[in-house]
Every structure is written in C-alpha cells, then in structure tokens.
Structure 1
Amino acid sequence: MAVGCTLNATVAQNNKNVPMMKKVEAVEKPQKYVVYQVFTRLFGNKKTTNKPWGTIEENGVGKFNDFTDTALQEIKKLGVTHIWYTGVPHHDVIRDYTKYGISNDDPDVVKGRAGSPYAVKDYYNVNPDLAVDPAKRLEEFEALISRTHKHRLKVIIDIVPNHIARNYKGLTNPKGVKDFGADDDTSVEYARNNNFYYIPNTPFEVPTSPDYKPLNGEVNPLSDGKFSEFPAKWTGNGSRMAKPDINDWYETVKVNYGVRPDGTKDFPELPAGYDEKDYAAHFAFWKDKDVPDSWKKFRDIALYWIEKGVDGFRYDMAEMVPYEFWSYMNSSIKMKNPKAFLLAEVYNPKEYRNYIKLGKMDYLYDKVETYDHLKAVIKGNALPDALSDIQNNMSDIEHHMLHFLDNHDEQRLASPEFAGTPEKGKPLMVVSATISSSPTMIYFGQEVGEPGNEDAGFGKRSRTSIFDYIGVPHHQRWMNGGKFDGGQLSNSEKALRDFYSRLLNFTLNSSAMLGKFQEIQSVNRKETQNYDQGLYSFVRYSEDEKLIVIANFSWVTTSRIDLIVPEDIIAAWKLTDGSYTVKDQLYGSSTVLNVVNGKGTIHLNIKPSESFIFKL
C-alpha cells in the first residue's frame, strides 16, 4: 500500500473521480527497458508429464512462491528491468475451490482446463491456482510484489478492459464497489451507464461444434451444454448473437464504455490540441466530466493495484476501447505514479498515434510493422531492406513501439513455424533489440530456445498454451528443480542464454540506444560486393557512443565483405581519414574501420545467423 493511503479511503476518493495523489514528479527521460514476460502458472512448474488436457495433479502448476530470490536474481542478471506476470487476476478455472467461497466455473464457457487469463472473473483478487494457500492468495501475490521490488525489478500485470468473464463475480470487492452489471437496465440493448450490451428477452445459448467438446469430453457436473444467462449479453469480440460462434470469444462478455451500438460516442471528446498536452492536463480535463460507469470501475481497479505496489499494466486488446477512456484511465494512474509503465496491445498502425498522444499510452506492440517483417524475412518471404522504412516512418513514435519476437499469443521464435531454430532467431533478436530506443520484450523460455512443442489440450503446438496445465521443457531445464542455475541445459542452450544476457545488458547500458538511427543498408546493397540479400546494417549513435550493427539473416551463407560506412555518417562522427579500432559488444572481437577520402569501410566475415555490434 502507498504511504499515507488506506484502501477504503482510496476507493471512496476514487468514487468522487479524484484519486488521492502523490506529488507529481517530473517525467523521466527516455531510457531503454527490457520486459520479461512470464506466464505465471507455468514458470515454476516442475512436472514433466505433459498429458494433453492433463489435470493440475497430473501436469502440475507453478506458484507465486516459485519466484524465489534466486529466480528473480537470475532474471535481473539476464538484463531485465520489468517482469510482466501474465495471468495474475482471478480468471475462470476448472477446479473446485468452493471451500474458499469461490464458485465453480462452467466448462461450457471456459477455454481449456486451466482457463484463459483473459476471462477475468474477479479483478480484486488473484488466481487461486497460483497460491500455496488459496485462502491467502492475495497475500502471497503481495509478497511476490515485495520480493520483485527487492531485486530492483518492476511489476506489470494484465488489465483486460474490453471484456470480462461471462460469469464475473467479485468476492473480495472493496467497500462500496459494486460488481459489473449490478445496476444495469437489462431490458434494453444499450444504456450509457450499463456495463454490458444486452440482447433483450433472449437467453444465452452455448456455442456448439462437432469438432470441440469442453474438457475433451470428460464428464463434469456443469458440462451440460447449458449456461444460465438471461438476457444474453454481447460476446467479448463484439458478437451480437445470443448463440455465439465457437470461434468467438464466447467465454467473455463485452464491456460497454458508452459507445452506442451504431458506433457513435456517448461521452465527452477531447478538445483539439490535447494530443500535445501531458497527462496532468488530461486528468484536469476529465476531473469534472460525467463519464460512463464502466470508466470509473476500471479506473478504480487500476488504482487498487497501483496501491498494492504494481508498477504498470499490459492492456489487452486496447484498440477495442475508445482512446478517450484511456486518456481518463491513464492520466489517473500517472497522477498516482508518474513512472507507471503502461503497455497496450494495438494492431492498427493508423491508430498508433491516437493511443499514444490522446490515450496517453507509454508503449504499444510493434507487431504489424517490425515483428511481422522480421518473421517474413526469416521465413524467406521478404528481404530485410524494408526495416529501414519501417523505422524511419515511425521516427516520431519509435520510442513508444515495444519490440518483441515471442509472447503468449505468437508462435515461439524457435518453433519450426517461425525461425526454425533458436540460432536462426539470434540476428532477429539483435535487430529487434538495437534498431530502436523502444523497450524490448522477451517471453520466458525464449532465452533458452523453447519451441512450444507440446499438445497441451486446448492449446496446440508452436505456442506455449495459455489455457492448460503444462510444463515448458527448455525452461524447466534452466529452472533445474528450483535451483535456477541452468544445470540441465545443453551447451547450446547455455550459449543461447549467454547471448541473450550479453545483448540485453548491452542495450540497457548503451547511450547510443537512445540516440540516432540511420540505415546504411541501401548504400551497401548498391555498392558492396558480395553483400548477400540476407544482410542488414545500420548505425546508432549518441554524443559519446558510435555503433555499427550488421546482422546476417541467412543460415547458409558466410559473407566476406567490405562494409561501407558512408560519408555523411563519417562526417557526423567527425572522423578524419585514418584507421579506427571497432570492438564487437557481444563477444569482444575487434577489427578496423578504415576511413579514406571521408568514406569508411570495415572488412569482415560474417557467418550464417551471426551479428556484430561494433563500437567505435
């Protein structure tokens, strides 16, 4: 809890639309961050049974307590600044916790056995699966927050604003907090202060498919093809059918933010010029405005977790919620914690600037541009050259576009469906981590080459399942029974983790990572002999650090080249003709930058999947 605030006082104050505030601090200067995403229930699981649709007893589950001091110390040493604990809020799960006052969840509206973390059942508590003692699950998570902070790491958790579990039930709401929908007028499809959209006078029907049976057909007293909901609500992805399709997000219901069914807005809009104003101005704008009830509910949820020491949030499917709400929500958070880390899942490049400038997001996923292109390159479907245009076209917001190659939604980097091997993923990782000043994110197990090879049940291979109880084999070898020393890793897996540690720690300590980007790809493509199509090169530089980065995406070709550093860069770096030592920041080898008539060249051999970060 923050000093000087009690939970009930905070909630009461929030209900007046004015959060209790610390003194507003100056906004931090940009810096490089590294986010380590962990799927919390999988991280500490030691069982290796990996039976499809296996129970918690068969396949095991990780706990908050598995994040020991040793584990957190090793994560920190990897070069991490923030841990995103995925799947912490209490979501639907097929397991009997009734002796703790928790209702059983219906398999007909739950995906998998362990449940989707994006079908949140109670925002004021945490997943009982993650606790050694489910009665003390919140205290165990609070202890994890404290432990994480002790190791100088920040804590991020999920908030899923677009939808909640179809059977949402807040068991531990703070005093004065009503559940979603408690005051809704269910006789109408839409009302501004309803939390949900309704299909009046129509019961909900469970979706059906000949190819799918809940729990793979296992007998369960609640698995009867029925779920009582009257009237039916719109489904999380926006389906307005009382019987959604099996491919809809049928386990969730869509939250109403005051957007009418025809798409028009039933709330105040930000005046012109607010894209240039700071969060304090946004907070002041909303302070005396009447806003829809769902806005207040989610703001109070966010501030509740900020009070508990959470340092930021990853917002699921943020673009399905209007950016005016985000202005309201995020400015309230920043008034409490100006350093809060606010990351949003947004996939529409045309809306990026609205969510950053008007929604006051710190960071958005850079999936559609950088990630998708890197994936196309390594799969042989594109050349790397377009990376330069991507970076230049986003130059005004590049710091806000978080880079990743692996997360819970995507195919594993090392899987056959992506890079194919962890080694082939290395040049992608170098470019992803160094081309921009934006944060870098890796997904647990990525650093030891986890390919996501398991058929977990509801979740299939190439992605590590977020729906099932499952073990993560490569990660478990690093975990080594809880020693977290890599004792069971192969030599190649140890070398891979060493590579990630070298790269990530370098980016955290490099001033050039916050400096200028300039591609040298086009001149080398045009003028350098034997410059293979799989090569990509650029420079990054600040006042006190000059870097030349080259990566070889080819896994079959060793290139012997004289890499060109063009005249304008040599001039910007104030180099006269002569020879300059450049040293690779990954493994320490040195070579020479020769400058003749104001033009630089570096003679080098670059092997398949190899990269260099040369420092002048």
Structure 2
Amino acid sequence: MRKIYGLVSALVLSISIGCSSEKKIEKNKMQEDNHKKTVVYQVFTRLFGNTNATNKPWGTIEENGVGKFNDFTDKALKEIKDLGVTHIWYTGVPHHDVIHDYTKYGISNDDPDVVKGRAGSPYAVKDYYNVNPDLAVNVENRLEEFEALINRSHKANLKVIIDIVPNHVARNYQSVTNPKGTKDFGADDDTLVAYHVNNNFYYVPNTPFEVPDFLNGYKPLGGENHPLSDDKFDENPAKWTGNGARSPKPSFYDWYETVKVNYGISPEGKKDFDELPKGFENEDYKKHFEFWKDKIVPNSWIKFRDIALYWLKKGVDGFRYDMAEMVPVEFWSYLNSNIKMKNPNAFLLAEVYNPKEYRNYIKKGKMDYLYDKVELYDTIKHVMQGHGLTDNIPSIQEGLKDIEHHMLHFLENHDEQRIASPEFAGDANKAKPAMVVSATISTAPTMVYFGQELGEDGSEDAGFGSPSRTSIFDYVGVPAFQRWVNDKKFDGGQSTKEELKLRDFYKRLLNFTISSDALMGEYADIHQYNRQKTLNYNQKVLSFARWSENEKLIVISNFDAIGNHRFVLEIPAEVIKKMKIKDGNYMMLDQLYQQKSFKLTVRDNIGLLTVQLAPLESYILKLQ
C-alpha cells in the first residue's frame, strides 16, 4: 500500500501548481498518522522498580534503594502497554547531579550545596551525552543498558520519550562521554563579559558565586556531615541562575542548582539572531529547516540540536521539553525542524504555561503538543475538589478549538500533587469522571503518571520538598506502586482490591480511547444546552458528543462524590443533524464496562436519553 500511495503522491505533485497540493498531502499524512488517540505513560525511572520500602527521610541509595533500567522487563513493559499506553516517557534519564561517589568511573562528585535532595533534580543535567549512573546495574555500561531499554520498549510497541531541558543545566556541567569534536557548555565562553551571543552562559564578571542562605531550617542532606557540604561552591565568575536570577548569590527560592543557558538574547532583551518572516508560522517544518540552513545561529542552539539528534540516533522517538517558554520560539523552529527532518513522526511535547503563547510555540516553534495545564487541568482540579463548576469546561474547548489536538491532557505529573493526597482531592476515585472527560473531550493525547492508576497518594517524607508529590529529588519507594510491582512480578499481587479496581478502570478507559474512531473525530458541547433546559442537570455533571462516520458517542460524567443524578438528557437538533442520526429509537451501550444500555429516542431531530448517574460515575455511550 505504501508503494501505491507513493506513486499516487508523485502523480499529484507533478500536476499541481505551487505548494497547495503538497500541503494537502502533508495534512492527509498527518491525519493518517494521528487516526487514533495517543496515551503517554510518564514514569519516574529511578522509582519504577525500587522495591525497598524503608523510606527513611534523606535516606541513601543503600538505605532506600533505587530502580534500574533493567527493572523494565518484557513483562513490565507488556503490562504498561496493556494498560492502553502508546508512548512511555522515561523521566530523569540524562545524567544529572546525584550525591553518590562514582569517581572510579571518571565521574566527578557533586556538591550538596548546589544539589536539591540526595538523588538530585532530573532537571539539573550534568552530562547530556550519558545517563544517570544510579539507573545502571553496571555503571560502566550505563548507556548500553539504556539502549537495551529503548529496544525492549520498541519490542513492546511503545514509543520512547526522554527529557531535554533547554533553559538550564547543572552548575557543574561536565560531560565525560562527549562525542568527538563536541565541547562542554561554557568551554569556549568569554567569562570577562556578562554576555556574548556565542557564550553558552551569562556571567557576573569578576564576582564569585555564593551559595544561597538556606531558609526554613533547610540543611543539605538533612544536616548530614559531608566533605563538600561547607556553604561553598567554586564558580568564578558567577553565572546567572536557571530561572534568570542575576545575583551572584541567588535566593533559596531560585533554581540555584542550575545555570541559565544563553540563546543569543542580550540582558537588555535584544535578539542577536534572525527572526522568522511574517506569515512563516503557516509554513511546514521543511520550510523552517530550509530557512535556518544558511543562517548563523548562536552556539547554544547548535549544542542542543546536536544533543537531540544524538538521542534520535540512539532510537529515542521524542522529547519532553522542560520550561520551553523560557527559550525563544525561533530556537524551537530551528531545533524541531531539524528533528523532524530526521524523524517526521518524532513526538515533541513542551511545558508551556502561557495561553497567549500557545499558538506561537505550536505554529512558529513546530511543537506537536503543549501541556493543557492552566486551562483544563486547573479547571478540572477545582471541580474535583468540589469548589469548581463543570460550566467552565466547555468554554475552554471552544477557546482552543483551532489547536485542540495539540493540547496534551493530564491529571498528574511529577510537578503536580497526587490526586489521592489530602492537598488535592483526598480520594483517587475522584479522578474517575475527570479522567473520562480529560481522555475523551478532544483529539489530544492523554498522559498518566505512574502510580496514578493505583491511587498513589504521595505521602512519603523523602527529604527535600514536602509530601503530596512523589519526590523527584530523593531515593524513595512508591508504596501503592510497589504493591503492584510485587517483587518485580508486575502482577498486582500485593495490591488492595480498591487499587486493582481503580487500575481496571484506567485500563478500560485508556484502551477504549486508543481504539475509538469518534475520539479523533468531531466534538459538540451539549452541557450548556442542558443546563438551561433540563431539570436536575446541574454544575456537577458534564456531557458532550463525539462522533465520526462510523462511531457515535455521548459522554456523560458525574463529578459529585455523594449525590446521584437522574435526568432526561436532551441532544439538540443541531448536534443530531451533525451526527447524522435519523428519527427513531436506538440503543446506546456503555463502552467502559459493557454492562448498561440506554434507550435514545430521536423525534423531530431532538434526542432524548434518560440517564441515572451514581456518585463519580461516567458513561461513554455508543450508538448501536
């Protein structure tokens, strides 16, 4: 079929005028590539296979244990795949600062005064050309062990995503495995000036760095004696801190463990690089690649391009970009077009929190997906907590309808509180209606954080930071997840009935989403219509329609944790006509549990559906 498609494509191109036909073919190819939903499973790599349940605050790797690449066995990966997952994001893979002695492997020790936690922040990368030594059984072969994991993941039919953190690197960045001809960040910097377009960092000339004053009783490593924990770190001249702080002595609340990367923007805000021509946001990645080919770009751009292409060559299928909006959008045009020229199907996900910039990063920056955090996530979190209204959700979809496919949905990730924590919802079951809505309301990818499907509550006091979020800074076990891991049998043998019931819900939902045609088709809000017309339909319920030529769905969710809701849902004539449903009586079967069916009556193009919802219950009803 691909050979035939290629011949047809060649014929079409040969008779077309200009580039309009090429764009049409490109759009058709994108639609073919994206004909089913994507589900990303984010896993904090060092925590996944750790079966040690000690959980001593500030515990060492020997005391609290650590997971390894090899813990992702064929069995483990099959269970993840069977959950309904298409992509796995291995968080914390690039070699970042850790407080453990690996000097016999040629790795320098890291200073607790500029490391958060004992296991270190995965976003303070020390060496982009190797992986975290904690994750290897044989440290000398750590890169080979990760390459083997990439291969196992592909064998399980999972695409692999890793982090790239473009805005900042560890204060002591030092690669021990640079490819031939590659120099470290800052190696050629002119440190006598605050800024030069080809410096990798910004400097405070002639001024040494000072460790911040630690506040609120904080002490590195919990106060443990350590030869490098002396309130000193040798950096002269001082570099700007990762969040842009320019003082040689950053605040405790700054990202003091990192340094800001310079992308050719002067301290006054002047861009020392070419900007994209007006209207170029409408051009494809190939045109963006051609635009940059003959341009001189800042050295930091080239360094990160080479890093991304290095990992693509290793078999990585995509990247999650940390704090992408702290880096100029022109760089993303340059980087992502280079990536897409090597792998047109690469999965590119960006952490962006400013809705006003969404379209710039998608269209100019050539991002595939952005976090839908400040609109859908924040809104749905408030609904789950009981003080938000479902009335606010349809307007979000309306406002994003031109870019809805690009807005990745999630309810948990490593930065956010666990749903089951008291600080969030206090009950993992409150995720059920929210997950149904999040996973089915648009064509966008869905992301699940490991342990979310088991109701992990993030209550452990690991050391740095506070409970409610599973620690990314320390060696710790994840109790609910460990029960499912069951001494690396990965079968839920120690899980509670409630945990297994919750996981079954996620498995049913996610597998439905990746097989549904309608969820990559059309959407219509029916919530606002029913809020005005339907008795007993209130702000704790949400409903909408999804359909394709072959599949018609009505999705209804009850966010009320204590109340039943019974009403006659009305589907307006406009939606019935769009769904191409004729007058008559139909059965609609719930797709989550395949147990309940409902009668849909359509008269004069108006659909009526009597529904009764138990607390936190949802239905994905399919027209039979």
Structure-1-length-normalised TM-score: 0.95
> Is 1:450 matched up with 2:450?
no
> Alpha-carbon deviation of 1:518?
0.7
Q: Give the letter aligned to residue 271 of structure 1.
A: P
CA–CA distance in 2 between the matches of 1:311 and 1:60? 29
> Is 1:279 matched up with 2:285?
yes
CA–CA distance in 2 between the matches of 1:573 and 1:401? 24
Q: Is the contact between residue 53 and residue 469 of structure 1 (CA under 8 Å) also seen in structure 2?
A: yes
> Is 1:176 matched up with 2:170?
no
Partner SS, residue 509 of structure 1 = coil
Number of matched pairs: 593
Q: What pairs up with 1:304-383 in 2 under 5 angstroms?
A: 304-383=310-389
CA–CA distance in 1 between the matches of 2:303 and 2:165? 12
> Is 1:591 matched up with 2:580?
no
1:404-459 CA-partner distances (Å, limit 9, x unpaired): 00000000122122222111110000000000100000000000111111111103
Partner of 1:544: 550
Q: Is the contact between residue 459 and residue 466 of structure 1 (CA under 8 Å) also seen in structure 2?
A: no
CA–CA distance in 2 between the matches of 1:285 and 1:254? 27
> Alpha-carbon deviation of 1:26?
5.2
Partner of 1:86: 91
> Is 1:423 matched up with 2:404?
no
> Is 1:32 matched up with 2:37?
yes
Question: Structure 2 residue aligned with 1:403, among 406, 409, 413?
Answer: 409
Q: Give the letter aligned to residue 411 of structure 2.
A: L
Partner of 1:50: 55
Partner of 2:265: 259
Partner of 1:115: 120
Partner SS, residue 585 of structure 2 = strand
Partner SS, residue 296 of structure 1 = helix
CA–CA distance in 2 between the matches of 1:560 and 1:255? 56
Partner of 1:126: 131
Q: Is the contact between residue 404 and residue 432 of structure 1 (CA under 8 Å) also seen in structure 2?
A: yes
Q: Which has the higher mean CA deviation after the structures are superposed, 204-213 or 168-177?
A: 204-213
Partner of 2:221: 215
Question: Structure 1 residue aligned with 2:141, among 133, 136, 139?
Answer: 136
Q: Give the letter aligned to residue 146 of structure 1.
A: N
> Is 1:299 matched up with 2:305?
yes
Q: Is the contact between residue 89 and residue 123 of structure 1 (CA under 8 Å) also seen in structure 2?
A: yes
RMSD: 1.1
CA–CA distance in 1 between the matches of 2:520 and 2:498? 32
> Alpha-carbon deviation of 1:579?
1.1
Partner SS, residue 519 of structure 2 = helix
The ranges of structure 1 where at least 4 consecutive aligned residues each deviate by more than 6 angstroms after the TM superposition are none
Q: What pairs up with 1:569-608 in 2 under 5 angstroms?
A: 569-588=575-594, 589-608=596-615
1:94-129 CA-partner distances (Å, limit 9, x unpaired): 000001010000000000000000000000000000
- Identical aligned residues as a percent: 69
> Is 1:159 matched up with 2:164?
yes
CA–CA distance in 1 between the matches of 2:541 and 2:526? 11
CA–CA distance in 1 between the matches of 2:278 and 2:455? 48
Q: Give the letter aligned to residue 590 of structure 2.
A: D
> Is 1:464 matched up with 2:446?
no
Partner of 1:563: 569
Q: Give the letter aligned to residue 66 of structure 1.
A: D
CA–CA distance in 2 between the matches of 1:483 and 1:121? 33
> Alpha-carbon deviation of 1:514?
1.0
Q: Is the contact between residue 399 and residue 438 of structure 1 (CA under 8 Å) also seen in structure 2?
A: yes
1:163-215 CA-partner distances (Å, limit 9, x unpaired): 00000001000000001001100000000000000000100000012421110
Question: Structure 2 residue aligned with 1:526, among 525, 532, 551?
Answer: 532
CA–CA distance in 2 between the matches of 1:29 and 1:148? 20
Q: Give the letter aligned to residue 462 of structure 1.
A: S
Q: Is the contact between residue 459 and residue 468 of structure 1 (CA under 8 Å) also seen in structure 2?
A: no
Q: Is the contact between residue 548 and residue 615 of structure 1 (CA under 8 Å) also seen in structure 2?
A: yes
Partner of 2:7: none
Partner of 2:251: 245
1:24-55 CA-partner distances (Å, limit 9, x unpaired): 99545424100000000000000001111111
Partner of 1:615: 622
CA–CA distance in 1 between the matches of 2:404 and 2:419? 23
CA–CA distance in 1 between the matches of 2:539 and 2:119? 45
1:240-268 CA-partner distances (Å, limit 9, x unpaired): 00000001000000000001111121100
Q: Give the letter aligned to residue 48 of structure 2.
A: F
CA–CA distance in 2 between the matches of 1:574 and 1:55? 62
CA–CA distance in 1 between the matches of 2:161 and 2:578? 39
Q: Give the letter aligned to residue 83 of structure 1.
A: I
Q: Which has the higher mean CA deviation after the structures are superposed, 119-128 or 599-608?
A: 599-608
> Alpha-carbon deviation of 1:86?
0.1
> Is 1:436 matched up with 2:442?
yes
Partner of 1:16: none
CA–CA distance in 2 between the matches of 1:419 and 1:179? 45
Partner SS, residue 430 of structure 2 = coil
> Is 1:512 matched up with 2:518?
yes
1:38-77 CA-partner distances (Å, limit 9, x unpaired): 0000000000011111111111000000000000000000
CA–CA distance in 1 between the matches of 2:347 and 2:281? 19
